Structure 1
Amino acid sequence: MTIPRNELLAHFDALLQPERFKDYCPNGLQVEGKPEIARIVSGVTASRALIDAAIAAGADAIFVHHGLFWRGMDGRVTGWMKERLQRLLAHDISLFAYHLPLDAHGELGNNAQLGRVLGWQADRCFGEQDLGFIAPASFARAADLAAHVQTALARGVTLVAPEGERPIRRVAWCTGGAQGYFESAIAAGADAFVTGEISEPQTHLARETGVAFIAAGHHATERYGAPAVAAQAAQQFGLEHRFIDIDNPA
């Protein structure tokens, strides 16, 4: 079966509601391809490796979290940008990209899907634009939580465990580069915060506040939203779908 490109776009927009968010990239259709779509590939980032894999898979469209265009970037189509766009246009492949709207969706988004993988059901949101999730948890210490996250995501994590650490009864999380949400997580009553990346200030905050900080990888924490949304659309409209995970140690 096929679906008109604009009908699929309308479905994604209705599901993810990009108009609700202040974002620093265009959400929705970033590159226009063929008017009818039968096969969609999902991935985390619209890298050249993903685009090449989608071409090999015969995709009509790609659905990602990290698209091609960001506020403040150089607008010239040269180098790596030219290589990516050239491939998409030559093969008439549409590129759909949703950033913060994909993080935030309560069932299919990155945060909700990471919670599913880790066994947590959020009971509230926190932080700017309500992007952070928080849920009950039961870990004797931060090291146990870190081991759980490491096992579930099959990759190493960075743990900053404060002195005199306490049991983890409330865990907060926000995928990707959300280390700046740590203070909001502390204010929301979390005993630990899980995200993708860590910057220099978070170490000191963890030590001084008694709240553990875990960085589990930007890519590793954001692998789940794009395939969940694309799979939902594929099932609803009878499309073919394949998730292609391009390994990224970040």
Structure 2
Amino acid sequence: MAIALAALVEEADRYLNAARINDYCPNGLQVEGRPQVLRIVSGVTASQALIEAAVEAEADVLLVHHGYFWKGENPCITGMKQRRLKTLLANDISLLAYHLPLDVHPEVGNNVQLAAQLGITVEGELEPDNPRTVGLVGSLDEAMSARDFAHRVHEVLGREPLLVDGGEVIRRVGWCTGGGQGYIDQAVAAGVDLYLTGEASEQTFHSARENGISFIAAGHHATERYGVQALGDYLARRFAIEHLFIDCPNPI
């Protein structure tokens, strides 16, 4: 049975407590489509490829982590943005997007979901005294070398990670999905053996080497596939509707 779009959006906003987070983009309903929902398609980024896949799957709602209307971007609806929005509107598909609220949620968040995939026990926040903290710290289910852990990451995510091997046994891990390489200093301060995120910058190599920790960049897209799936599954169970996750490959 179909449910009202407004009810779906209200529950997603409430469950993620989206209003409490000052973000770089609007969270929630970004594009309004048909008023009734039978099927959600979820994915990481609202790219043209994902939108077209949602059209093919006859989705009523496209649920993503990376939506539109970021602070500082050109507000004009031209080029790529025009084509994406035109496809959504022409097919009456709603776009529902959650950025930081989906990173930090304690149940369906990207960071806790990645930990579950990689066998990491969550112990706390990377910066417990910072109200805007995103990353987490925890321990592995068994101590291992950095190379062995990188192999686990490869097997789980299906992507060869970039590894800076500090040479120490890995027990305690810090991580932040996506573009969280800038948190490596906080990870060092937290006393981790290895810090994992999606991307790397040139200086990340030196920070890891000179502070004696290992570092893994496992891919922005690859590390953020799991939160939106978990949120889609939650909404599907809550309202007895259909949910399909579609992964559009992205090597970055």
Q: Which TM-score bucket, shorter chain as reference?
A: over 0.9
Cα shift at 1:139: 3.1
Rounded to whole Å, the distance in 1 between the matches of 2:16 and 2:189 is 27
**How far 1:49 moved relative to its partner?**
0.5
Q: CA deviation at 1:185?
A: 1.1
The DSSP-based 3-state class of the residue aligned with 2:25 is coil
**Structure 2 CA distance, aligned partners of 1:32 and 1:85?**
11
Which residue is equivalent to 2:97?
97
Structure 1 residue 141: Cα displacement: 2.2
Aligned to 2:137, which of 131, 134, 138? 134
Question: For the residues of structure 2 that align with 1:166 and 1:19, how far apart are their CA atoms?
Answer: 42
Match of 2:165 in 1: 161
- Work out the CA distance in 1 between the residues paired with 2:249 and 2:180: 20
| Partner Cα separation in structure 1 for residue 245 and residue 61 of structure 2 | 12
1:101 shift after superposition: 0.5
- Deviation digits for residues 36-69 of structure 1 (CA, Å, limit 9, x no counterpart): 1111100000000000010111100010000022
Q: Please give the per-residue CA displacement for 1:82-134, whole angstroms capped at 9, x wherever unaligned.
A: 10000111111110000011011111111111111101120101235221111
Would the aligned equivalents of 1:139 and 1:145 in 2 still touch at CA under 8 Å? no
Specify the SS of the correspondent of 2:120.
coil
Q: What TM-score comes out, normalization by structure 2 length?
A: 0.96
- Please report how far the alpha carbon of residue 2 of structure 1 lies from its aligned counterpart in structure 2 after TM superposition: 1.2
CA distance in 2, matches of 1:93, 1:57: 11
SS in 1 for 2:107: coil
1:239 to 209, 218, 241: 241
Shift of 1:186: 1.1
**Cα distance in structure 2, aligned partners of 1:100 and 1:153:** 21
Query: What is the correspondence of 1:62-73 to structure 2 with a 5 Å cutoff?
Result: 62-73=62-73
Alpha-carbon separation, structure 1, partners of 2:155 and 2:236: 30
Which stretch has the larger CA shift, 141-150 or 1-10?
Answer: 141-150
C-alpha deviation, 1:146, in angstroms = 1.2
The one-letter code matched in structure 2 to 1:146 is A
Give CA-to-partner distance per residue, 1:6-29, whole Å, 9 cap, x none. 111110111111222221011000
How many pairs were matched up?
Answer: 248
Residue 110 of structure 2: aligned partner: 110
Q: Residues 4-23 of structure 1: matches in 2 within 5 Å?
A: 4-23=4-23
CA distance in 1, matches of 2:69, 2:244: 24
Q: Secondary structure at the match of 2:43?
A: strand
Q: What is the DSSP-based 3-state SS (H/G/I as helix, E as strand, rest coil) of the residue aligned with 2:122?
A: coil
Contact 1:193 / 1:213 at 8 angstroms: preserved in 2?
A: yes
Match of 2:173 among 166, 171, 174: 171
| C-alpha distance in 2 between matches for 1:28 and 1:81 | 18
Deviation by residue 1:119-161 (Cα, 9 ceiling, x = unmatched): 1120101235221111112333211221111111111010112
Pairs within 5 Å for 1:67-86: 67-86=67-86
Residue of structure 1 equivalent to 2:201: 199
Alpha-carbon offset, residue 166 of structure 1: 1.8
Instruction: State how far apart, in whole Å, the 2-side matches of 1:123 and 1:54 are.
Output: 37
Between the aligned partners of 2:99 and 2:134, the Cα distance in structure 1 is 11
- Letter of the structure 2 residue corresponding to residue 13 of structure 1: D
Which ranges in structure 2 are unaligned for 5 or more consecutive residues?
Answer: none
Deviation at 1:182, TM superposition (A): 0.8
Residues in 1 aligned to 2:210 and 2:20: alpha-carbon distance in whole angstroms = 35
Instruction: Give the TM-score, by structure 1 length.
Output: 0.96
Distance 1:231 1:102 in 2: 14
How many angstroms apart in 1 are the aligned matches of 2:107 and 2:188? 24
Q: Distance in 2 between matches of 1:21 and 1:190?
A: 27
